[in-house]
């Protein structure tokens, strides 16, 4: 298992299992099977609404002795409604309880957006609900205040590493000015149609690791009926990707994942099928040529699927 050494000394598996959109009914079995196949990093979030089931799958594997807790790298993300420092630890404690673990290996700020607080008893996870039907409401909580609350939880031993997700370069630069503990990892949408090379170069220079999500591009958003999906060729069907896959006798998915890992990024694909689980995990045993990497680099068109502007005209990336 290839790992990435984080700026705090911890080792993070380079290929993990993404828990977004894993169906609750089969989630525990899926997580258990992924551990059995060899996955050690599980990337979840409060907003995914399946942390209890993820925890059930992890507990089953631990109880059976398939793996020890210190062999796992368990990840979650602080949702937007809990940015106020008064609510950060309570939110984390809910995640720890649902996952049935004593600490997280990595806890991200999911988005640099502070929604109005919603008590767990009212709705959990709240999603876009801010206590007033479909209307968005916000809190004036600086990101650094939320970050300071997370730093305290590192000191308490409840989190080993803290990270940021869906942050722009300007926000990271500002956060670094006041952070005592620098972010260990940045998680971003990253695929051939959205490559963000300048951000990646700068973040790497700051010794912050990068995890790519939605590595398969539009494929991740088909079931959500995302309007931008129809604007592009599916990467699994793109002639350039298929040509490279044929050269290496690999699947298009493996080529897309290797394109990221060969450039030093971590990836978090998901699948419900055991053979695909294994195929996604074994992507570091072949190399793409420089010309093949250049071919994929030319596919960048800045096509972002996960954009808060589409929620309520929130200009994170604009």
Alpha carbons 260 and 209: distance in angstroms, whole number: 13
- Residue 266's closest CA among 3, 9, 35, 74? 3
Tokens matching residue 46: 């409060």
| 110 is an annotated ligand-binding site residue | yes
Angle 187-291-281 from CA coordinates, rounded to 5° = 45
User: Which of the following is catalytic: 32, 39, 48, 213?
Assistant: 48
Alpha carbons 34 and 77: distance in angstroms, whole number: 20
With contact defined as beta carbons under 8 Å apart, do 36 and 67 qualify?
no
Q: Is 48 a catalytic residue?
A: yes
- The CB density around residue 22, as the number of other CB atoms within 10 Å, is 25
**What SS3 string covers the chain?**
CCEEECCCCCEEECECEECCCCCHHHHHHHHHHHHHHCCCEEECCHHHCCHHHHHHHHHHHHHCCCCCHHHCEEEEEECHHHCCHHHHHHHHHHHHHHHCCCCECEEEECCCCCECCCCCCCCCCCCCCCCCCCCCCECCCCHHHHHHHHHHHHHCCCECCEEEECCCHHHHHHHHHHCCCCCCEEEEECECCECCHHHHHHHHHCCCEEEEECCCHHHHHHHHCCHHHHHCCCHHHCHHHHHHHHHHCCCHHHHHHHHHHCCCCEECCCCCCHHHHHHHHCCCCCCCCHHHHHHHHCCCCCCCCCCCHHHHCCCCCC
Annotated binding-site ranges: 110
**Residues known to be catalytic:** 48
Annotated binding site for substrate: 110
């Amino acid at each position: 298992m290839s790992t990435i050494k984080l700026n705090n000394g911890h080792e993070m598996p380079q290929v993990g299992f993404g828990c977004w959109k894993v169906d609750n009914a089969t989630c525990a079995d899926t997580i258990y099977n992924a551990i059995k196949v060899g996955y050690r990093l599980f990337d979840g979030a409060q907003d995914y609404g399946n942390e209890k089931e993820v925890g059930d799958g992890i507990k089953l594997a631990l109880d059976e002795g398939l793996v020890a807790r210190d062999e796992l790298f368990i990840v979650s993300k602080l949702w937007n409604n809990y940015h106020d420092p008064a609510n950060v630890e309570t939110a984390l404690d809910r995640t720890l309880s649902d996952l049935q673990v004593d600490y997280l290996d990595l806890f991200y700020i999911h988005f640099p957006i502070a929604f109005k607080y919603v008590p767990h008893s009212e709705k959990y996870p709240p999603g876009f609900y801010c206590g007033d039907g479909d209307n968005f409401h916000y809190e004036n909580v600086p990101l650094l205040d939320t970050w300071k609350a997370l730093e305290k939880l590192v000191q308490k031993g409840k989190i080993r590493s803290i990270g940021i997700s869906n942050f722009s370069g300007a926000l990271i630069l500002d956060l670094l000015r006041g952070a005592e503990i620098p972010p260990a990892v940045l998680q971003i949408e990253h695929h051939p149609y959205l490559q963000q090379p300048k951000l990646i170069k700068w973040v790497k220079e700051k010794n912050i690791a990068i995890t790519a999500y939605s590595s398969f591009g539009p494929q991740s958003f088909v079931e959500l009926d995302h309007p931008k999906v129809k604007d592009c060729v599916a990467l699994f069907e793109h002639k350039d990707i298929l040509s490279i896959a044929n050269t290496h006798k690999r699947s298009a998915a493996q080529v897309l994942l290797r394109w990221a890992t060969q450039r030093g990024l971590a990836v978090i694909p998901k699948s419900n099928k055991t053979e695909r689980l294994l195929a996604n995990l074994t992507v570091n045993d072949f190399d793409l040529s420089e010309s093949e990497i250049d071919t994929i680099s030319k596919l960048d068109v800045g096509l972002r699927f996960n954009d808060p502007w589409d929620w309520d005209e929130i200009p994170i990336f604009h």
